[in-house]
Structure 1
Amino acid sequence: MSEPFLIGDAMTGGYGKGPDILHECTIAVDKGQIAVIVGPNGAGKSTAMKAVFGMLNVRSGAVRLGGEDITNLSPQARVGKGMAFVPQTHNIFTGMTVEENLEMGAFLRRDDISHTMEQVYDLFPILKDKRYQMAGELSGGQRQQVAVGRALMTRPQVLMLDEPTAGVSPIVMDELFDRIIEVARTGISILMVEQNARQALEIADKGYVLVQGRNRFTDTGQVLLNDPEVRKSFLGG
């Protein structure tokens, strides 16, 4: 079996000198696939994703991208390797226009960004309509589109989303998930932490259920949705 494109392998670690939050936790995603991390509050979901992105100390285990060990790289260096991370909050520049936000996403690039900009506008047509509007004036769902669009401006190989549908309406959530599926179809790997577990698992190629920083269940999204124990404990029956 060849290794997944991105893997956080048996990660144990926490923030700074604090206690371990993750305990031999493994998260992986393949090219063009959607992997979803779900679990109860305080399960270490966002911590696991931040560990993969280099935002906390991995005391044992490793993170590998395309077979390369990147465990000791900074988050900035990981962006250079093709990883993009969209945090749950404070993920846009509210005092800039939509288009300026997207341009900020391409700050590492030295080539023509106009084609990527058009791809983002094709994916999120509302952003094209509001390109000269201040991002701080947008609705919650539109702000999330700006945040995802800005990450896509880096032309990532991996797009990491921390609670992308937090605080948005069910209609907006469905629309965001549809766009995420479209992004994955272009060959980009999606790693996502999501509170709306049932809806997220419906679009997931791979699902990880974490409990207290450990892997509790790992399988395809469909298998987890149909697992009686997962349904009873984590999906409300």
Structure 2
Amino acid sequence: MSHLVGKDMRGGYGGADILNGCTIEVDKGQIAVVVGPNGAGKSTAMKALFGMLNLREGAVTLGGEDITALSPQDRVAKEMAFVPQTNNVFAGMTVEENLEMGAYLRHDDFTGTMEEIFDLFPILAEKRKQYAGELSGGQRQQVAVGRAMMMQPSVLMLDEPTAGVSPIVMDELFDRMIAIKRTGIAVLIVEQNARQALEIADIGYVLVSGENRYTDSGAALLADPEVRRAFLGG
């Protein structure tokens, strides 16, 4: 069994179900990418995994433990980290203060973890005393990921991390995701830039109407003519 599993998930926001039985899982040391058209339920699936959406059916397990009933706060304590697409930094705080906020549940010395994040994102070390609101979009995303990493999670979940950034910054962020997974963390990414995301994916999920349409390695999905035609622009 993979480290994080959302199995046969069904649910929505009070009306018709948005998730219609989809299953998403990722193991430690893997990158899993969720792609699909607008309205496919990608971000909803991410929220369900993090406890921000009550499931009508299905279950979420972490390390073999059923966490379906746990709140997002309790899942953070279980070493899950979630980086939302927007409003993911404290603009009026410095980079360093943002990272400190990420360690709010820790009671040990986290300076070593902060230095590891500065090694991962050197620009943040350079701008550690600068307000996050003054940074570029790509730099703010690095702050958001760094803050999530301060809790030393076993699972890192990112919702549209490359939205609104340049292709160069997107490539840099994806390179950092590869570096993070190599430390043994399970990385789950919901992404609109499907082709680029699948290039780094160990496993990819194509959702349509809240269901799994295709599930395979990133390389296999990129090579599938049906996937290319329907979801990757040919």
Q: Which TM-score tier does this pair reach, normalised by the shorter chain?
A: over 0.9
Relative to the length of structure 2, the TM-score reads 0.99
Q: Secondary structure at the match of 1:57?
A: coil
1:219-234 equivalent positions in 2, closer than 5 A: 219-234=216-231
Relative to the length of structure 1, the TM-score reads 0.98
- 2:11 equivalent in structure 1: 13
Q: Alignment partner for residue 144 of structure 2, among 144, 147, 156?
A: 147
1:150-229 equivalent positions in 2, closer than 5 A: 150-229=147-226
- 1:35 equivalent in structure 2: 32
Code of the residue aligned with 1:36 in structure 2: it is: V
Whole-Å separation in 1 of the counterparts to 2:150 and 2:200: 23
Q: Secondary structure at the match of 1:207?
A: strand
Structure 1 stretches (4+) deviating beyond 6 angstroms? none
Code of the residue aligned with 2:209 in structure 1: it is: Q
Code of the residue aligned with 2:29 in structure 1: it is: G
Q: Secondary structure at the match of 1:215?
A: strand
Whole-Å separation in 1 of the counterparts to 2:62 and 2:15: 27
Whole-Å separation in 2 of the counterparts to 1:164 and 1:179: 12
Q: CA deviation at 1:155?
A: 0.5
Q: Alignment partner for residue 127 of structure 1, among 121, 124, 128?
A: 124
Code of the residue aligned with 1:10 in structure 2: it is: D
Whole-Å separation in 2 of the counterparts to 1:216 and 1:19: 19
Deviations 1:86-145 (A, max 9, x none): 000000000000000000000000000000000000000000000000000000000000
Q: CA deviation at 1:18?
A: 2.5
1:59 aligns with 2:56: yes
Q: Alignment partner for residue 44 of structure 1, among 41, 45, 70?
A: 41
Code of the residue aligned with 1:218 in structure 2: it is: T
In structure 2, runs of 5+ residues without a counterpart are none
In structure 1, runs of 5+ residues without a counterpart are none
Q: Secondary structure at the match of 1:51?
A: helix
- 2:104 equivalent in structure 1: 107
Code of the residue aligned with 1:131 in structure 2: it is: R
1:62-77 equivalent positions in 2, closer than 5 A: 62-77=59-74
Q: Secondary structure at the match of 2:214?
A: strand
Whole-Å separation in 2 of the counterparts to 1:167 and 1:8: 28
Whole-Å separation in 1 of the counterparts to 2:55 and 2:33: 21
1:23 aligns with 2:20: yes
Q: Secondary structure at the match of 2:104?
A: coil
- 1:85 equivalent in structure 2: 82
Whole-Å separation in 2 of the counterparts to 1:18 and 1:101: 36
Whole-Å separation in 1 of the counterparts to 2:205 and 2:33: 6
**Once superposed, what is the RMSD of the aligned Cα atoms?**
0.5
Whole-Å separation in 2 of the counterparts to 1:127 and 1:133: 9
Q: CA deviation at 1:57?
A: 1.3
